[in-house]
Amino acid sequence: MKARRGTAPTSYFWLLITGAYFFVPLLATFLFSLKSNQTGKCCTAASYTWVLHQGDFWHTLKISLLLALETIVISLLIFVPTIYWVHLKVPRLRPVVAFLALIPFVVPPIVMVVGLLDVYRGTPSWFYAQPWGFLAAAYVILAFPYMFFSLDAGFRSIDVHTLTEASQSLGASWPTTLVKVILPNIRSAALAASFLTLAIVMGEFTIANLSAFSTFPRFIQAVNEAQAYPAAALTLMSFALTWGAMLSLLLVGRKRGTRAAVLTGAR
């Protein structure tokens, strides 16, 4: 075995295969989106202007973005204190929390929504009939695994005990320690979890569809069924949204010199 100089040929092979598989559908969707709705020929931006002139586009986009924000805030409020305490005081609970946070991988959204609709059908309409109630509650559950994995990795990468003891021996209270000492140290992990959650909420279809809330993905599906070329434009916009969320995450991380931590968290 020789010392490695340059890229190995097998590496080229796998990177090219995977790269092509990742790239071709994006390129094809782009070319598709430029075709004219009347002639099916290239090239026009009509599909994009069509989308931007739909009132429902802006309306559902706003609903989904607000939903994502709400989901992120609730998830962080639930997970940051929990994981902090588990790491600091009750490490033996960590497998339990990990197991519970993993369950949403085991409970598919299609099953979850059936159960949620069944349990909460009779509840007040401010909860049941509102996306901010019912749907947000379900989305927090969807965010569980991502929140846990990111934040747990974040907490594992810092020395929770030393930081807490240092903070407290300087006279800080528990809330001060959590907000001023711990939070800045797991900021990149929390951001990573937040941007992942944003991506999930902006793409979630199953639960929104079965509980009949007008979210952005349901708007995309409605266009898919009716308008082929604008649907391609909309698909790309949706991808760009996810992509933008991740890129801004990277930029925020780089400025602070925590790029590696962000990448770890982003996984």
Partner 1 sequence: MRSGRRRLNLAWLATIPFFAYTFLFLFLPAGSVLLGAFKGVHGGYTLGNVRVLFHHPYIDAYKTSIEVSLVTALLGGIIGLATAYAALREGTPKWVRSIITTFSGVAANFGGIPLAFAFIATLGTIGVMTQFLKDQLHIDLYAHGFTLFGKTGVEIVYLYFQLPLMILVIAPAIDGLRREWREAASNLGASSWQFWRYVGLPVLMPSILGSIILLFGNAFAAYATAYSLTSGTVSLVPILIGAYYTGNVLDNPHLAQALAFGMFVVLAAMMVAYIPLQRRAARWAK
Give, as ranges, the residues between 71 and 130 that touch partner 1 (CB under 8 A).
77-79, 81-82, 84-86, 88-90, 92-93, 97, 99-100, 102-112, 114-119
Q: 63, 76, 191, 266: which one contacts partner 1 (CB under 8 A)? A: 266
128-147 residues near partner 1, rule: CB under 8 A: 137-138, 140-141
Contacts with partner 1 by CB under 8 A: the residue count is 92
Question: Residue 154 in contact with residue 265, Cβ under 8 Å?
Answer: yes
With left for phi above 0 and alpha for psi between -120 and 50, is residue 227 left, alpha or beta? beta
Residue 143 CB, shortest distance to partner 1, in Å, is 11
Gap between the Cα atoms of 151 and 193, Å rounded: 7
Question: Residue 187 in contact with residue 180, Cβ under 8 Å?
Answer: no
* 155 closest CA partner among 79, 83, 253, 73: 83
Q: 238, 253, 258, 261: which one contacts partner 1 (CB under 8 A)? A: 238
Gap between the Cα atoms of 125 and 133, Å rounded: 9
Q: Does 181 bind partner 1 (CB under 8 A)?
A: no
192-221 residues near partner 1, rule: CB under 8 A: 196, 199-200, 203-206, 209-210, 217, 220-221
| Residue number with CB closer to partner 1 (46 or 263) | 263
Tokens representing 222? 């409605």
| C-alpha distances in Å from residue 180, one per residue of 15, 147, 187 | 43, 20, 11
| Residue number with CB closer to partner 1 (143 or 187) | 143
* 61 closest CA partner among 227, 244, 229, 251: 244
Tokens representing 52? 């931007």
Residue 162 CB, shortest distance to partner 1, in Å, is 17
Residue 113 CB, shortest distance to partner 1, in Å, is 8
Residue 8 CB, shortest distance to partner 1, in Å, is 6
End-to-end CA distance of the chain: 31
Residue 180 CB, shortest distance to partner 1, in Å, is 17
Per-residue binder mask for partner 1 (CB under 8 A), 24-63, x = binder:
xxxxxx-xxx------x-----------------------
Residue 105 CB, shortest distance to partner 1, in Å, is 5
The residue length of the chain stands at 267
Q: Does 14 bind partner 1 (CB under 8 A)?
A: yes
Residue 179 CB, shortest distance to partner 1, in Å, is 14
Q: Does 243 bind partner 1 (CB under 8 A)?
A: yes
Question: Residue 181 in contact with residue 48, Cβ under 8 Å?
Answer: no
* 81 closest CA partner among 216, 182, 172, 184: 182
| Residue number with CB closer to partner 1 (108 or 184) | 108
